[in-house]
């Protein structure tokens, strides 16, 4: 019996897959922390024969090259992919056979020009599943603007045709196994489904329900939102044959060493909960909470080649953050420290950060505060505080000089996650930040303005 096992990476909104007949295994689109894959292989006593890439990834560092090197498996990419290492190149219509598994190669350009899908069949030839990478997602498709702006329309047309081709050649009961769509910015839109089939996709996938290609392209391009700046570095990194993640923490730092790093302008990330950070932290550190969106926000804000110091509640948290960041190529750690082992009480750089709600904001006179909205353009356009100044989170480090000086800056986002990091960026630049730890969903006008709007 053929089984497909999903290996989820919630911090990036992606999935990798292991498929097996019980003896032989094939892995599709692995992340670079290989221990998760090898644990499955070893627990089930499998022989890994092939590692497949659907495309050269834009949102994470692949583990495919390192996994193939470690296990001796055949590393499979599109024959047209321009990479710096030996691999088994395949093209449309090729077939891979291993044990009781048959994988048929389908060229599905759109997300990238050389994108491939792999249709999984059993030895009788029955189609069971399809690994679609960034082509057909659950009720969505992979975005088409990540490779080259000049190619976006061409790739969008290709994406439309690729998804339709998969629907045309595969029966309704075939299970769909995408890499993206679970929070990744590689997806044009996100999905709430955890599983799907070709038949289910016929009912709501935009490439299958659009009246025509032009309608599809207009809807696709109008819905694309900004993506993290670290994406620019992923494809070149992946073409080089990246090594596996090595979970070895750097030496711990004491308070003087952390202060020296701060004063040298290093990126010192405090991973603690925003309220713990608000109670006491060192000026110049950035509050990057240890949550699923940590790599996205760090990858938007911190320069790709920057050295970082990680501070956390304990070394388990620091190790988890290290793993998350290594998946996007951030591996220059200059030090780390468990805050529970540090004592900076009374230090000249010790600070607290006020944490408030929208109600507190509206109870403060307008001439005593600046209001900063750090959400994306589409969120701002859907509704915002009437006094707010707008700088999207991912632009703040470059535009912090535009923030009016002299008054506390009350900063908000949708949930508080971007706002807490933004507030520490403001503090680092010399502003007095106030974190509005509150919810502002798309379409909301936050604070008392919301009540007034509803009343009218």
Same domain, 121 and 231: yes
Instruction: Specify the number of domains making up the chain.
Output: 3
HSE of 287 in the Cβ direction (CA atoms, 13 Å)? 29
pLDDT of residue 433: 94
Residue 453 banded pLDDT, cuts 50, 70, 90: very low
Same domain, 156 and 266: no
Same domain, 167 and 182: yes
Whether 318 contacts 245, CB under 8 Å: no
- State pLDDT tens for residues 53-88: 999 999 999 999 999 999 999 999 999 999 999 999
Asked if residue 87 is part of any domain, the answer here is: yes
Same domain, 141 and 287: no
Give the mean pLDDT of the chain.
95
Boundary-marking domain end, from 351, 376, 393: 351
pLDDT of residue 450: 54
Q: What is the average pLDDT across 417-427?
A: 95
Percentage of the chain modeled with pLDDT above 70: 98
Asked if residue 135 is part of any domain, the answer here is: yes
pLDDT of residue 191: 82
Same domain, 444 and 391: yes
Same domain, 259 and 211: no
Whether 196 contacts 208, CB under 8 Å: no
pLDDT of residue 443: 84
Same domain, 223 and 80: yes
Report helix, strand or coil for 2: coil
Element (DSSP H or E) covering residue 236: helix 231-239
Same domain, 284 and 410: no
Structural domain boundaries enclosing 297: 255-351
Same domain, 186 and 78: yes
Asked if residue 12 is part of any domain, the answer here is: yes
Written as one string, the DSSP assignment of 395-444 is GHHHHGGGSPSSS-EEEE-SSSHHHHHHHHHHHHTT--EEEE-S---TT-
pLDDT of residue 444: 84
- State pLDDT tens for residues 11-30: 999 999 999 999 999 999 99
Same domain, 28 and 171: yes
User: Tell me, what CATH number does 228's domain have?
Assistant: 3.60.15.10
Q: What is the average pLDDT across 360-364?
A: 91
Same domain, 176 and 32: yes
Whether 98 contacts 73, CB under 8 Å: no
Same domain, 39 and 174: yes
């Amino acid at each position: 019996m053929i089984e497909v096992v999903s290996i989820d990476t919630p911090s990036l909104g992606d999935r990798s897959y292991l498929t097996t007949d019980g003896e032989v295994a094939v892995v599709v689109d692995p992340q670079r922390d290989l221990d998760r894959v090898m644990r499955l292989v070893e627990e089930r006593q499998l022989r890994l024969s092939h590692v497949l890439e659907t495309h050269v990834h834009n949102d994470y560092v692949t583990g495919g090259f390192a996994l193939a090197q470690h296990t001796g498996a055949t590393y499979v990419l599109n024959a047209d992919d321009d990479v710096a290492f030996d691999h088994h190149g395949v093209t449309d219509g090729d077939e891979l056979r291993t044990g009781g598994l048959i994988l048929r190669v389908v060229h599905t350009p759109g997300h990238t020009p050389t994108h491939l899908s792999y249709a999984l069949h059993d030895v009788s030839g029955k189609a069971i599943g399809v690994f679609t990478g960034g082509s057909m997602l659950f009720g969505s498709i992979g975005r088409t603007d990540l490779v080259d702006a000049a190619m976006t329309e061409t790739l969008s047309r290709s994406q439309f045709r690729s998804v339709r081709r998969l629907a045309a050649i595969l029966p309704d009961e075939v299970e769909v196994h995408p890499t993206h769509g679970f929070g990744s910015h590689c997806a044009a839109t996100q999905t709430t489904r955890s599983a799907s089939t070709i038949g289910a996709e016929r009912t709501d996938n935009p490439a299958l329900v659009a009246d025509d290609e032009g309608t599809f392209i207009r809807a696709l391009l109008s819905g694309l939102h900004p993506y993290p700046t670290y994406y620019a570095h992923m494809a070149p990194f992946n073409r080089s044959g990246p090594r596996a993640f090595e979970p070895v923490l750097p030496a711990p730092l004491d308070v003087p060493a952390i202060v020296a790093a701060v004063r040298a302008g290093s990126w010192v990330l405090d991973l603690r909960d925003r309220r713990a950070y608000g109670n006491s932290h060192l000026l110049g550190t950035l509050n990057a909470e240890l949550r699923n969106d940590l790599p996205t926000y760090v990858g938007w804000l911190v320069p790709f080649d920057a050295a970082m110091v990680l501070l956390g509640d304990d070394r388990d948290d620091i190790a988890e953050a290290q793993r998350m960041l290594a998946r996007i190529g951030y591996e220059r750690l200059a030090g780390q420290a468990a805050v529970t082992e540090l004592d900076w009480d009374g230090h000249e750089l010790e600070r607290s950060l006020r944490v408030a709600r929208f109600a507190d904001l509206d109870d403060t006179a307008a001439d005593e505060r600046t209001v900063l909205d750090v959400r994306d353009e589409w969120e701002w356009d859907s509704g915002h505080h009437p006094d707010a100044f707008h700088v999207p989170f991912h632009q703040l480090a470059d535009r912090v000089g535009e923030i009016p000086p002299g008054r506390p800056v009350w900063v908000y986002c949708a949930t508080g996650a971007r706002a807490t990091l933004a507030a520490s960026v403001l503090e680092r630049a010399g502003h007095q930040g106030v974190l509005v730890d509150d919810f502002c969903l798309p379409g909301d006008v936050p604070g008392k303005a919301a009540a007034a709007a509803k009343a009218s």
